[in-house]
Chains A and B, each alone.
Chain A
Amino acid sequence: MPLLAAIGVQDALLAANNDLNRMQTLLADASVTLMRPFQGVTERIQALRGPSITGAERDSMICTVTHDLTHAVTALQFQDGASQPISHTQRRLRNCADQLARDSFADAEDGEAVVEAAPDRSSPVTPAEMDTGLIELF
């Protein structure tokens, strides 16, 4: 591979790697941000159970908050679902960049480039959306 082409590809791969790093940080931040309302909702549920609100209205509000909370818990798992493929892609891209470096600059004075191992199989994450998964009890 011509030297300039190799440099271009390597830069592109490293840029993609940096983008994925940034995405992982953003996802982690989003997860933390989304977590805060949970405490507030829990406190509201406690207040709703107090004497100031009574009857069917109170029951309906509790039901709504609980329902929302249940969905939020499922939705919040996006961070875990997204971070695994990102991590996988990072390792694959890193391997690609390392191999390019080794093949293109094999005679560099500072020795052969170290190639970080690529994942040995495709990403383990199979769900494509935040619907709940299957259950099998043995």
Chain B
Amino acid sequence: MHSILAVDDSASMRQMVAFTLRNAGYEVTGAVNGQDAYEKAHARGFDLVLTDQNMPRMDGLNLTKQLREHLNFKATPIRILTTESGDQMRQAGRAAGATGWLVKPFDPAWLIEVIRKVIC
């Protein structure tokens, strides 16, 4: 079973993401901010990281940059799921090493589809 690290400081968003992805057959681990995610990602590997952008302690862009600095996460797909939709932020996400920018609210069907493009 493929594993996904779902990062969001909103408990309801973590629940929605986990509900959607578990029903699609993925194993989901939640993290409450970038720092929590960074620690969990290093404790064990994940097939994909799905992270919010605006979070306390460490945001999604910094999490992406920090994960990309490690060999184990050079090729791990990192999708940013955020309320931010501006061009500048999307370009910053790309520059940080994210592999996709998804704007909330998400539709469960398309969330599964964009994840299945890289892990299935």
Contacts and interface: CB of A to CB of B under 8 A. Distances in A.
B29 interface: no
A18 interface: no
A84 B82 CA distance: 11
A78 B117 CA distance: 27
Interface stretch (A4-12, A47-55, A97-105, A130-138): A130-138
A38 B12 CA distance: 13
Nearest to B83: A125
Contact of A77 (B85, B100, B106, B109): B106
A4 B98 CA distance: 53
A31, A70, A138 interface centre (most CB from chain B within 10 Å): A138
B35 to A, nearest CB: 19
B84 A74 contact: no
A45 B19 CA distance: 15
Interface in A74-107: 74-81, 83-84
A138 B101 CA distance: 8
Interface residues of A, number: 31
Nearest to B79: A137
26 contacts: A28-B12, A35-B12, A70-B107, A70-B109, A73-B16, A77-B12, A77-B106, A78-B105, A80-B12, A80-B13, A80-B83, A80-B104, A124-B53, A124-B84, A125-B83, A126-B85, A126-B86, A126-B103, A127-B103, A132-B105, A132-B107, A133-B104, A137-B100, A137-B101, A137-B114, A138-B98
Contact of A135 (B15, B19, B100): B100
Nearest to A31: B12
Interface of B: 8, 10, 12-13, 15-16, 19-20, 23, 53-54, 82-86, 90, 93-94, 98-110, 114, 117
A92 B16 CA distance: 29
State the main secondary structure of chain B at its contact with A: mixed
B83 A81 contact: yes
Interface in A9-33: 28, 31
B54 A136 contact: no
B54 A84 contact: yes
Contact of A124 (B15, B83, B101, B110): B83
A80 B10 contact: yes
A38 B84 CA distance: 28
Contacts of A79: 10, 12-13
A35, A38, A130, A133 interface centre (most CB from chain B within 10 Å): A133
